[in-house]
Structure 1
Amino acid sequence: MNKSELHERYPVYLTQSVVWGDMDAFEHVNNTVYFRYFEDARMEYFTQLQVMEHLKETHVGPILASTRCDFRAPLDFPDDIVIGAWIDQIAEKRFTMHYRVHSLSQQRLVAEGDGLVVFYDYANKKSSAIPQHIVDNIARLQQGFKLE
């Protein structure tokens, strides 16, 4: 899958290079690094939703409740990857964010996973409803995408 196809598939995606320091003794990217890739995509998504501005103003924002990853193929240096993300299963206080990591040199999916994100009132230390403008921003950002 090329970059153009990935752009058509994911409402939020980013491209980055595999870093030599992310390799482990088995000469592939260490499994823990994929969670950083997911975090990079999550933060790009939140940036586009203006979540961090809302957090600064209200002290209500996202917190990761759980996450998982399925490894499909080893990834190694040098390579460039595309990390795609989308949201579904939106409820009053939470949603699921999905991630896919594609190797550009291998032209294949190398990992996929998801995370449960809960909105949290950091001042009062309890879960909180997702603000309507954030839900509206998700719908706007994902409009026209056929999500899996």
Structure 2
Amino acid sequence: MGTTIQKQPFEIEIHLPVRTYDIDFAGIVNNIVYIRWLEDLRLEMLSLHFPLGEQIKNGIMPVIVQTKIDYKHPIKISDLPIGKMWMQSMEALRWHVSAVISVNGKTAALGEQVGVFVNLQSKKPVRMPAELRHKYQLQH
């Protein structure tokens, strides 16, 4: 009997290229690069479930209010990191995403972000878009 792997809501996985300018004086990927990778992952995830055009049409944009990264294992220029991100939870105003960055199956970093959607005009938080909340509930 086969095993079914349950994916997390909105789960995506992408390759994260290491650039020469990502390397610090110690020869490893600089900590700030992980922030950019979390952005790449989050933008890819949102493009699949709530594209930028829809956000603008709705007069809203996502804003990050917290980022946390636990660095577990250094990444070098010759490594081929893979990033995975998913929607951990979605509340009325806030959403939480989790991420894992790994190299050859070994966890290099764990990340979390908390965000809100804000009105483009007022810059104030708004309730979670109904379409996005519905998609999340279908996958959760």
Q: Deviation at 1:39? A: 0.6
2:41 is matched with which residue?
41
1:25 aligns with: 25
- TM-aligned CA distance change 1:39 to 1:77, over 3 Å: same
In structure 1, what is the Cα distance between the partners aligned to 2:88 and 2:28?
31
Give me the TM-score of the superposition, normalised by structure 2: 0.87
Shift of 1:22: 0.3
Please say if residues 51 and 134 of structure 1, whose CA atoms lie closer than 8 Å, have aligned partners that are also in contact: no
Q: Which residue of 1 aligns with 2:54?
A: 54
Q: Pairwise mapping of residues 65-104 of structure 1 onto structure 2 (< 5 A)?
A: 65-104=65-104
Aligned to 1:3: none
Aligned to 2:16: 16
Q: Which runs of 5+ in 1 are unaligned?
A: 1-6, 144-148
User: What is the CA distance between 1:61 and its match in structure 2?
Assistant: 2.4
CA contact (8 A) 2:95 2:115 kept: yes
Instruction: State the TM-score, normalizing by the size of structure 1.
Output: 0.83
Q: Among the aligned pairs, what percent are the same residue?
A: 21
Cα offset for 1:127?
0.4
4+ residue runs of structure 1 moved beyond 4 angstroms? 7-10
Aligned CA RMSD, in angstroms, stands at 1.8
- Count the aligned residue pairs: 134
